[in-house]
Amino acid sequence: MVALRRAVTLLAFLGILMIMLIPEKGNADNEVVYVVPIEETVEKGLYAFLNRAVSTAEENGASAIIFEMDTPGGAVDAAGKIGKLLAETELKTVSFVNNQALSAGAYISLNMDEIYMVPGAVMGSAAIIDQSGNTAGKKAESYWLSAMKSAANQSGRDPEIALAMADESVDLPEYGAPKGKLLTLTSEQAEQAGYSEGTVSSLDELLDTLGYSGAEIRSLDESFAEKIARFITHPVVVPILLSVGSLGLVLELYSPGFGIPGSMGLAALLLFFYGHMVAGLAGYESIVLFLVGLGLIILEFFLPGGIAGAIGLVSVVGSLFLATDNVVHTAVSILIAIGISILVSILMIKVFGKKMKFFRKIILSDSTSTEKGYISNKTRAELIGLEGYALTALRPAGTAVLEDERIDVVSEGGFIQKGARLRVVKAEGSRIVVREMLDMEKKADQ
């Protein structure tokens, strides 16, 4: 009996030992995998969300982060920061291209450890273009080509293929990208070229392929604040916000008190700063500088000299540059906002200037008409027909006496001697026209 008990104990011990010696697979129940979406346009606000996602995964001891990609690309500077973030984390990063990873999306994927694609997905077409849709300058192109090549080398992929995605002068006809055409890889081509570790039909299949089918899957989505930040920091939205802000403040000059235009202007500018703060681009110092500048501009209405207004304007513009990391884009956005504000100001002055309270105070719109009581020269119409004599000779101007009143007069054109009898025939303001009575009698006799 004792021998049987020992035999059972030995078998149990051996069984446990064998189980412990079985290689541990990646689908252990205690593993955690985060799934993070990268969707729509890549902009500066996206970095804040992905930075939070990576930090959260690291703090919770995650085994991997799967980034579900579906993006047409976006800002190069934003993609650069995101690529650096993903390359530096010690966590395993996987790009799951669920539809497309173009332009900046392709670069972000190249900075991850592994890439998987669904059937029909595409990756590539990563030429750098400006906001007008034109190819960017040589300096920007050189930076982008170097970045694409470096990302490919870092992940152990063929750098020539990465260059073909961004430079149409690279000739790769075997992948459907002859010279003059940017390379865009399908899921089959990417797997063939070593740019994809495999093609999977769904996230579940990807998890099973990676060995995480039994892991705890945690989805991490953008917060409301991060969604607002992504929208506000979009390259198209920034100039619109600045234009609405400046336009609202300009229109407020035409309104009594502080009303809707001013509120909209301030709201647009505060949204600008809020979005850039959430995106990690601006700090409280930019808002403080903006408020100080705005206060100085308001103070200019009560102080002479223009110094306070000039300092305030410089402070406001400086705060906008301080809140962003792209000086060129910010400068263009500010110029657009200033242009729109000037155009609207001219329109308001020309069309509505007389109706607006603000401009009624600074623009003289009244006229000095007789109907309104303004008389520059009194018309002596009552003198017409009166008789008198020339106090001085009229050559043709001189002085006459009419009913004991000395008046400067002018003859109709001829010379009239001193003492001659006169009669007033016309009164035009201060010009009193007289005629010698002898001439009048002669004309009557004829």
Residue ranges per structural domain of the chain: 30-221, 223-351, 379-434
- Quote the CA–CA distance of 172 and 181 in Å, as a whole number: 9
Question: Where does the pLDDT of residue 189 fall: very low under 50, low under 70, confident under 90, or very high at 90 and above?
Answer: very high
Question: Where does the pLDDT of residue 366 fall: very low under 50, low under 70, confident under 90, or very high at 90 and above?
Answer: low
**Residue 46's closest CA among 218, 219, 220, 222?**
222
Q: Is residue 290 packed enough to be buried (19+ CB in 10 Å), middle (13-18) or exposed (0-12)?
A: buried
Question: Where does the pLDDT of residue 24 fall: very low under 50, low under 70, confident under 90, or very high at 90 and above?
Answer: very low
* pLDDT computed for residue 396 by the predictor: 86
* pLDDT computed for residue 227 by the predictor: 72
* pLDDT computed for residue 28 by the predictor: 45
* Domain range 379-434, CATH architecture: Beta Barrel (2.40)
Name the class of domain 30-221: alpha beta
- Quote the CA–CA distance of 82 and 416 in Å, as a whole number: 101
* Sign of the CA dihedral running 237, 239, 242, 246: negative
Q: Quick count: other Cβ atoms within 10 Å of Cβ 399?
A: 14
* pLDDT computed for residue 11 by the predictor: 43
**Residue 276's closest CA among 220, 322, 216, 215?**
322
- Res 31 pLDDT > 80: yes
Give pLDDT tens digits for 398-436.
999 988 889 999 998 788 899 999 999 988 877 899 998
- Quote the CA–CA distance of 253 and 255 in Å, as a whole number: 6
Question: Where does the pLDDT of residue 314 fall: very low under 50, low under 70, confident under 90, or very high at 90 and above?
Answer: confident
- Quote the CA–CA distance of 343 and 155 in Å, as a whole number: 52
Q: Are 49 and 82 in contact (CB under 8 A)?
A: no
Mean pLDDT of the chain: 78
Model pTM score: 0.58
Q: What is the mean pLDDT of residues 8-34?
A: 52
* pLDDT computed for residue 289 by the predictor: 82
Q: Is residue 317 packed enough to be buried (19+ CB in 10 Å), middle (13-18) or exposed (0-12)?
A: middle
* pLDDT computed for residue 357 by the predictor: 52
- Quote the CA–CA distance of 272 and 240 in Å, as a whole number: 10
Residue with tokens 């009303």: 259
* pLDDT computed for residue 300 by the predictor: 72
Name the least confident of 64-68, 207-211, 250-254, 419-423. Answer: 250-254
What are 424's strand-pairing partners?
434
Question: Where does the pLDDT of residue 324 fall: very low under 50, low under 70, confident under 90, or very high at 90 and above?
Answer: confident
CA distances from 436 to 383, 404, 409 (A): 15, 18, 12
Q: Are 428 and 412 in contact (CB under 8 A)?
A: no
The tokens describing 356, both together, are 């607006």
- Quote the CA–CA distance of 392 and 224 in Å, as a whole number: 95
Q: Are 434 and 407 in contact (CB under 8 A)?
A: no
- Res 367 pLDDT > 80: no
Name the least confident of 15-24, 183-192, 382-391. Answer: 15-24
Name the least confident of 172-176, 186-190, 217-221, 370-374. Answer: 370-374
Q: What is the mean pLDDT of residues 284-307?
A: 76
Give pLDDT tens digits for 105-158.
999 999 999 999 999 999 988 777 544 444 556 777 888 888 898 989 988 899
Q: What is the mean pLDDT of residues 336-345?
A: 79
* pLDDT computed for residue 332 by the predictor: 79
What are 394's strand-pairing partners?
416
Radius of gyration, alpha carbons of the chain: 43
**Residue, of 91 and 18, whose pLDDT is higher:** 91
Give pLDDT tens digits for 191-210.
998 999 999 999 999 999 99
